């Protein structure tokens, strides 16, 4: 696999996993610096992410 093709695949994976392409459906109560988010991705898949409160709006 060429470097250009590898880079394109990595970039695509990052874009698909990007929070900018997702809708937050629900957030859990922060505890010990972390909280859970229920997220609907642009593909329609619903996933759960554990986030740090230092990454968020808290």
pTM of the model: 0.51
Note the pLDDT of residue 46. Answer: 93
Note the pLDDT of residue 5. Answer: 74
Q: How many domains does the chain have?
A: 1
* Alpha-carbon gap, residue 38 to 26, rounded angstroms: 5
Centre a 10 Å sphere on the Cβ of residue 51 and count the other Cβ atoms it contains.
Answer: 19
Domain residue limits at 33: 3-55
* Alpha-carbon gap, residue 55 to 58, rounded angstroms: 8
Note the pLDDT of residue 48. Answer: 92
Which residues does the chain have with pLDDT short of 50? 58
For 47, residues 6+ apart whose C-beta sits below 8 A from its C-beta are 38, 39, 41
């Amino acid at each position: 696999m060429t470097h250009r093709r590898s880079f394109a695949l990595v970039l695509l994976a990052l874009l698909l996993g990007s929070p900018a392409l997702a809708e937050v459906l629900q957030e859990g109560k922060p505890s010990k610096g972390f909280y859970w988010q229920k997220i609907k991705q642009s593909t329609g898949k619903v996933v759960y992410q554990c986030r740090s409160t230092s990454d968020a709006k808290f």
